[in-house]
Chains A and B, each alone.
Chain A
Amino acid sequence: AQKITQTQPGMFVQEKEAVTLDCTYDTSDPSYGLFWYKQPSSGEMIFLIYQGSYDQQNATEGRYSLNFQKARKSANLVISASQLGDSAMYFCAMISLSSNTGKLIFGQGTTLQVKP
């Protein structure tokens, strides 16, 4: 069975500083993908970044980077130069590429608050 664990219910960061949101996962699947989504108070889930299990390099998308440590089964999200608009709920999610269902398994989420 697949499982995603996010151990930080809430995080605070000062504007313009970097912050790391933790995510660990468990799977017996040899081929999988890891996602991070942002959910502002409006409710929509916004895709941020994707990392495939066989990707050699850590993924980056603008101010977002994914610190992928396969042996530790962790996929932490790093947000650089935090902005007030980054305040939201953040979800780590996993997909099994072997099963080909496209179904995402989500963690419990981390609430990030950016202080001015």
Chain B
Amino acid sequence: DTGVSQDPRHKITKRGQNVTFRCDPISEHNRLYWYRQTLGQGPEFLTYFQNEAQLEKSRLLSDRFSAERPKGSFSTLEIQRTEQGDSAMYLCASSWTGVNEKLFFGSGTQLSVL
């Protein structure tokens, strides 16, 4: 059973460095979502793809953030010039378009910016 997988699980970086996270969704799912979750809060929507098209981006996604899903399969989320405020859990989820769009989540990438 292959669920949503994210890599790496943990990332520690210094302020100003660039980081990239990868998400592999469930293979038959056409939608892929990125969320950010800070300690003690619920996840906040960042962006989503339907196949390879990025259809919506949150205002939370500053120009230092970029996400891609080049072939409609895996996705990457890159943060350039990281800041301490970027420290959070980055969650990826996937779903199949339908009436009841249950999102399946990965275990997340925990980012710590020192």
Contact = CB atoms under 8 A, between A and B. Distances in A.
Interface of A: 4, 33, 35, 37, 42-47, 50, 52, 91, 93, 95, 97, 100-109
A102 B89 contact: no
Given A43-B89, A43-B108, A43-B110, A106 B44 contact: yes
A45 B107 CA distance: 7
User: Which of A44, A101, A102, A105 has the largest number of chain B CB atoms within 10 A?
Assistant: A102
Interface string B7-21: 000000000000000
A47 B104 contact: yes
A102 B97 contact: yes
Contacts of B93: 45
A42 B3 CA distance: 15
Nearest to B110: A43
Interface of B: 31, 33, 40-45, 48, 55-56, 89, 91, 93, 95, 97, 99-108, 110
Contacts of A50: 100, 102
B110 A109 contact: no
A32 to B, nearest CB: 12
Contact of B48 (A33, A91, A101): A101
Given A103-B56, A108-B40, 6 more contacts: A35-B103, A102-B31, A102-B103, A103-B33, A103-B48, A104-B45
12 contacts: A4-B42, A33-B100, A43-B91, A43-B108, A44-B107, A44-B108, A45-B91, A102-B95, A102-B97, A103-B56, A106-B44, A109-B40
